[in-house]
Amino acid sequence: MDISTLVQSLNLERLEVNLFRGTTPDEESRQRIYGGQVIAQALNAAYETVEDRVCHSLHCYFIRPGDPNVPIIFEVDRSRDGGSFTTRRVIAVQHGQQIFNLAASFQVEEEGYEHQSDMPDAPPVDSVPDDFETARAALKNAPPAAREWLERPRPIEMRTVGGRMDHKPEPREPRQQLYFRARDPIGPDPHLHQVILAYASDMSLLGTAIRPHGVSWQTPGFQSASLDHAMWFHRPTDFNEWHLYHQESPSASGGRGFNLGYIYRVSDGALVASCAQEGLMRMRKR
């Protein structure tokens, strides 16, 4: 899937004033919908009911696994239109049941006090290999179906510092860094850059809490899923530029892992967004 296909998949069909329909790109072997897709589509649905304001925060819950084979219906509740802030609530439905909900707040452009944390040290982006190319090289002798899956175009370029360890996991500290950006031009619409950044923000964040335990998505019996996701947009950005996604997991307990992420624009060190996510992480009993 390239950027044009991603953008097309995030665009919604308007069914009624506050009712929209979205679809999932046709990809084989997918058993459930990627969480970032539903976040981005729900944010897009909210934007369809908002004028001249920019999202500054969103909070959402994943309620049921999404079915990639049927459309998603997004219902927008116009909670409030205030003088400075607009609030929207979006419910995503499949098979007559809620699979996801999102609350988002939008604000008029406003000047004010500013400060931010400094961008953490990280190796230069040019010294970090592309995750896609590394995985493809490592699995060059994999079965044809696995190679076909790996060789699909990826809309988001990702470079994980120290490399990913999905196939041979070992215990590591509960923090990681990766660089990411859109592979192809997104276009001039700043809202679309924000929506695609939200799409990408769900990538790898849950994996931070898994790192200390020497398991991966491919470990037999291991079960994981995003439970919720929150995001704060601090500054506008061009997601065709490189960004550093600094992630850490301060806690895991009760079958859940908690993760924090900070997204910095590499060119000037600006903190453009922050994320928080809790996810399910447990071994199934055999």
220-261 pLDDT, tens digit per residue, is 889 999 999 999 999 999 999 999 999 999 999 999 999 999
Using CA atoms, how far residue 245 sits from 68, 104, 160, 213, 283, in Å, is 27, 22, 9, 21, 27
Q: Could you tell me the residue ranges of all domains in the chain?
A: 1-110, 127-286
Rg (CA), the chain: 19
Catalytic residue among 41, 176, 201, 277: 277
Q: What letter represents residue 105's amino acid? A: S
The CATH T-level fold of domain 127-286 is Thiol Ester Dehydrase; Chain A (3.10.129)
| Mean model confidence pLDDT for the chain | 92
CB under 8 A, 24+ apart: contacts of 193-196: 193/236, 193/237, 193/238, 193/239, 193/240, 194/43, 194/54, 194/55, 194/233, 194/236, 195/10, 195/40, 195/43, 195/44, 195/47, 196/3, 196/6, 196/7, 196/10, 196/40, 196/155, 196/239
Contacts of 14 (CB under 8 A, 6+ apart): 20, 48
**Tokens at residue 155, please?**
């809309």
How confident is the model over 71-100, as pLDDT tens digits?
999 999 999 999 999 999 999 999 999 999
226 is a catalytic site residue: yes
Residue 166: pLDDT above 70? no
pTM over 0.85: yes
Q: How far from chain centre, in Å, is Cα 2?
A: 16
Catalytic residue among 226, 247, 249, 274: 226
Alpha-helical runs (H) found in 95-186 = 131-138, 144-150
Specify the pLDDT at position 150. 62
Beta strands in 120-242, from DSSP E residues, in sequence order: 156-160, 175-182, 222-233
202 is a catalytic site residue: yes
Specify the pLDDT at position 48. 97
277 is a catalytic site residue: yes
Catalytic residue among 105, 202, 247, 249: 202
241/60 Cα distance (integer angstroms): 26
Helix (H/G/I), strand (E/B), else coil: 29 = coil
Helix (H/G/I), strand (E/B), else coil: 56 = strand
Specify the pLDDT at position 138. 66
Homologous superfamily assigned to 1-110: Hotdog Thioesterase (3.10.129.10)
Task: Please report where in the chains the tokens 């992480």 appear, as a residue.
Answer: 281
Specify the pLDDT at position 2. 81
**Tokens at residue 100, please?**
């996801």
Topology agreement, domain 1-110 and domain 127-286: yes
Q: Which among 22, 13, 9, 47 has a CA at the least distance from the CA of 189?
A: 47
Residue 28: pLDDT above 60? no
Burial class (CB in 10 A: 0-12, 13-18, 19+), 57: middle
Residues 216 and 208 sit within 8 Å (Cβ to Cβ): no
Residue 177: pLDDT above 50? yes
